[in-house]
Structure 1
Amino acid sequence: MYKLRTMHVMPPNAPRLTARHDPRVFPAGRILRSTKVDELPQLWNVLNGDMRFFGPRPEDPAIVHNCYEPWMLESLDVPPGIVGPGSLSYFEDESRIPSDPGEAEHYYVTVQLPRKIARDLAYVRRRTPAYDLALAVRTVLGILGIRSQSFKSVRLETATEEQVLGAVRSRPGSSLPG
């Protein structure tokens, strides 16, 4: 997946995720990230057929390998996309991410990742051209700083998230917090 480099190269043992106000991000990188301009090179991935415009956002392979539970793998059954409901909910909730990179990664894996995957499963199970259009509009609104909680697709994602996470929590040995 192509992106513009917005931060220093990380050593192998560094946290995989970027925290709010992460010192590893270049000053210009903050602007590129906030406007999502760093994502533009992914259009090349779309043209090459490696990605689509809409679908679950590709995850860091280390997070898939180390953190995905069996129920999460269904989100990998469709081609990855530049924009997906899980990534939009993450984008809209970025203010909740801790400032420390290690804490940010822990928060992401324990809180955000299950929510993100549950919302992506709503897309995988119910994708339509209208859903894709709603994702496009929500993306533009998000970049402009406008929250999009009134969309029907958001209500559907929230309901699916609650169903999926409720079912996972009820399984014996579930690691999800209640």
Structure 2
Amino acid sequence: MSRRRRAIDFVCALAGLICFLPLMLIIGVLVKLTSRGPALFTQDRMGRDGQVFTLYKFRSMRVADRDGSPLTVTGDKRITPIGTFLRKFKLDELPQFWNIVRGDMSLIGPRPKIPHLEIMHMPFRPGITGAATLAFRYEEEMLREIPSEHLESYYSRYVKPRKAELDWDYMRTATLRSDLRLVWLTAVACISDRESEFQVTLPAFSIEGAD
């Protein structure tokens, strides 16, 4: 299925770039006009089999504040007003169609992690959306009550393993039909608050469990 998946990814991503180009130009201008810094945000992410690549997104955070924790929660003051809107509707991810055309990513797959936050070298291209992406669609809200000083340890203990499990279970049995369904569920999730079948419950925070 890998060659067929790659061909579908390439055609869909190229079509996406062409169709969304006017919208992407508007977003780029708005990002530039509303906060200091470049329109695009680039960062090294972990790809298939541990290969590092450069990921492209529309910048949604203030440049001066990007050096803090890589994890964000609802109400994070580093996020710009337009960044909040872009994140809500996943519009900040549109430049990743270029990553797909390049072969760095796929439409469906585990979200590409920052290298030090990746716990597994999966033999799959990372994706714009995936099983864990839908399950953790409200991740920033889910992590909101975790004290900032314990956020990364809590994330490493509970969130990373659960995401890896969800993505691995999905990808090892993925079919074209299941991929198309997941794309549809992602589109619905971007424009509605309807619950997805991919749901997770995280353990309540405790000082004992954070150490």
TM-score of Structure 1 vs Structure 2, range by shorter chain: 0.7 to 0.9
2:22 is aligned with 1:22: no
From 147, 157, 160, the counterpart of 2:195: 147
The alignment partner of 2:167 has SS state of helix
Question: Aligned residue for 2:58?
Answer: 4
Ranges in structure 2 where 5+ consecutive residues have no aligned partner: 1-54, 201-208
Which amino acid in 2 is paired with 1:61?
A: P
Offset of residue 127 of structure 1: 0.9
Instruction: Return the offset for 1:92.
Output: 4.1
* SS of match in other structure, 1:126: coil
Amino acid of the structure 2 residue aligned with 1:129: L
In structure 2, C-alpha distance between the alignment counterparts of 1:6 and 1:59, rounded to whole Å: 17
Using a 3 Å threshold, how does the CA distance of structure 1 residues 125 and 137 change in structure 2: closer, same or farther?
same
More strand by share: 2
Q: Does 2:85 correspond to 1:31?
A: yes
Contact 1:17 1:101 (8 Å CA) reproduced: no
The 1:142/1:61 distance shift into structure 2, 3 A limit, reads same
Secondary structure of the residue aligned to 1:3 is: strand
The CA deviation at 1:106 is 3.2
Unmatched tracts of structure 1, length 5 or more = 159-175
**Alpha-carbon separation, structure 1, partners of 2:158 and 2:76:** 19
* Equivalent AA in structure 1 for residue 133 of structure 2: S
Between stretches 21-30 and 96-105, larger displacement belongs to: 96-105
Kindly indicate whether residue 171 of structure 2 is the aligned counterpart of residue 117 of structure 1.
no
- Cα contact 1:15–1:102 (8 A) shared by 2: no
CA distance in 2, matches of 1:135, 1:102: 35
* 2:125 aligned residue: 79
Q: Sort the Cα spacing of 1:93 and 1:19 in 2 relative to 1 into closer, same or farther, 3 A.
A: closer
**1:17-166 → structure 2 map (5 Å cutoff):** 17-64=71-118, 68=119, 72-73=120-121, 76-98=122-144, 101-143=148-190, 144-149=192-197, 154=198
* Aligned counterparts of 1:102 and 1:51: Cα–Cα separation in 2: 32
Cα distance, 1:103–1:30 mapped onto 2, change above 3 Å: farther
Using structure 2 for the length normalisation, give the TM-score: 0.62
CA contact (8 A) 2:72 2:140 kept: no
SS in 1 for 2:135: helix
- Give the superposition deviation at 1:48: 1.4
More helix as a share of residues: 1
